[in-house]
Amino acid sequence: MGQAEFLTLRKGAEVTGEVVDRRSRFIAQIAPVSSEAEAGSFIERVRSRHRDARHNVPAWLLSDGRERCSDDGEPQRSAGMPTLEVLRGAGLANVCCVVTRYFGGTLLGTGGLVRAYAAATQAAVAAARDAGDIVRMALVRRVTCVIPYGAYERVKRMVMDMQGRVKDSIFAKDVQMNCVFPSGSEGAFVEALRELSGGEELCIVGEPMFGEL
């Protein structure tokens, strides 16, 4: 069964985190994916990018519960599993991470590898947070409303106060605001806008769909 709500990377984002341990470089690269095929394509892109690396360790997990990882030649459970566990611990889904290792000439042992692969992945997750590239996916409804210019700032605040988000606004003769709300919470906004307009219907409410909140 798929998750009702989860965190993932913004569409089109790719983030990187890197650690160095005894001259071995560990470069974690994370991208959003929506299927096993997309994960496979990302893994191949990273492998092509780092053909000269000793290892390219992949891990991915989807919102439907499917997940997979590989140690790519490293000792068993020293690379892929630590990478996957960091993704899980961050509450992420529909993501793929590939940690590239350039060998520095010193064996790190299983414990050292576990720490290094996990640290590189944690660095990439932190970079994604810092860049604002982590988004929440949930069951949402899109609400479009057309309002006078003079009401724009007030309605914008109403959207935020009622758990919504203004995706974009189109400024023409009037202002068209395209908003998204957690499914079930849009009713309060629609009713508040009806009261503000003296009973006029200003909103078009879409069907529930799974999307970025």
Domain boundaries, the chain: 6-132, 136-212
At 191, which amino acid appears? E
Quote the CA–CA distance of 80 and 6 in Å, as a whole number: 22
Tens-binned pLDDT, residue by residue, of the chain (213 aa): 455 689 999 999 999 999 999 999 999 999 999 999 999 999 999 999 999 999 999 999 999 999 999 999 999 999 999 999 999 999 999 999 999 999 999 999 999 999 999 999 999 999 999 999 999 888 889 999 999 999 999 999 999 999 899 999 999 999 999 999 988 889 999 999 999 889 988 899 998 887 777
- Write down the pLDDT at residue 177: 95
Provide the whole-model pTM.
0.76
Q: Tell me the two tokens of residue 59.
A: 């891990």
Residues sharing a CB contact under 8 Å with residue 187, sequence separation 6 or more, in sequence order? none
Identify the three-state secondary structure at position 21: strand
Closest CA to 153 of 141, 171, 130, 180: 171
Quote the CA–CA distance of 26 and 17 in Å, as a whole number: 8
Statement: 6-132 belongs to CATH 3.30.230.30:
yes
DSSP class of residue 173 equals S
- Write down the pLDDT at residue 7: 94
Closest CA to 99 of 17, 15, 28: 28
Contact 174, 40 (CB under 8 A): no
- Write down the pLDDT at residue 3: 57
- Write down the pLDDT at residue 163: 87
Quote the CA–CA distance of 68 and 76 in Å, as a whole number: 14
- Write down the pLDDT at residue 19: 97
Contact 177, 167 (CB under 8 A): no
Identify the three-state secondary structure at position 60: strand
CB atoms inside a 10 Å sphere around CB 72: 19
Burial class, 9, CB count within 10 angstroms (exposed 0-12 / middle 13-18 / buried 19+): buried
- Write down the pLDDT at residue 1: 41
Residues sharing a CB contact under 8 Å with residue 38, sequence separation 6 or more, in sequence order? 96
Domain covering 136-212 in this structure, CATH number: 3.30.70.240
Q: Tell me the two tokens of residue 38.
A: 């997309």
